[in-house]
Amino acid sequence: MGFKSKLKSAIRALVLLTKEEVVKPIIVAKDKECLLDGKIALITGGSSGIGLAIAKAFAESGAKVIIAGTNKNKLIDAERKISVGGGIAKHIKLDVKDINLLPEKLKEAIALYDENRIDILVNSAGIVAKNEFENISEAEYDNIMDTNAKGTFFVSQAVSKLMIEKNIKGHILNVSSSSALRPAWTPYQMSKWAVRGFTLGLADTLIPYGIIVNAIAPGPTATPMLEREKSDTLYEPFTPSRRYSTPEEIASLAVFMVSGAGDMVVGDTFYITGGSGTITMHH
């Protein structure tokens, strides 16, 4: 090693010594049911489909959950389903498109539990296009983009502000889609491209505060959005795995992503698609 190299190494060692911080080892729970013990989780779009499955899985893993959605009856039913299963859940009526109401609604949400905080946010509210490209109206376009992209942006903004104010080292998990990998000709696909990029940017913005941002991206999943339930046949001939995913499979990955076990995954999107969109662009 030459003199210059030795000098650089010495300077680097000196800088590291002056900046050294106490870094505690990550504690990984051995019992999967305790991964989210003591956490408060807000799940938008949590009254059905993937959002409800995530809410159930979080509650089973020890979290207290806040289910947010627009349909009061569905919210009440979702809360009941989780409570019957032994979990702790409450609900709040929240439309992610009502941007001006978000600060007030979030204050209402955190007041549901004595902890008065949110440790985990899951942006699961989303809608799909009903028409083919040539028949999509401006109203349909705006509704999809405002829900999937704009809603995700502003809910994340509002919740991250609360986390920073309360010095919470939290998690934000966006529900993206395998559509984020495909050519985008629908507002739904475009919105998921936006979510993929936003996940990267938000992770970069919030990691200095200890807030970890990632996304999960399901492929075809047996949910009401695709007019399919897990009790139906899961056969899907057009995906490499030849079947639909179940909401519970998506939820199991979500638990890992927002737990301490996943803390070193930052700004990433985990695809759980059966190969749809990842090894094939079709369907």
Q: Which position among 113, 188, 244, 271 bears the catalytic label? A: 188
> Read out DSSP for the chain?
--HHHHHHHHHHHHHHHHH----PPPPPPSSGGGTTTT-EEEEETTTSHHHHHHHHHHHHTT-EEEEEES-HHHHHHHHHHHHHTT-EEEEEE--TT-GGGHHHHHHHHHTTSTT---SEEEE-------S-GGG--HHHHHHHHIIIIIHHHHHHHHHHHHHHHTT---EEEEE--GGGGS---SHHHHHHHHHHHHHHHHHHHHGGGT-EEEEEEE-SBSSGGGT--TTS--B-TTSTTSB-B-HHHHHHHHHHHTSGGGTT--S-EEEESTTBTTTB---
188 catalytic residue (yes or no): yes
Q: Which residues are catalytic?
A: 188
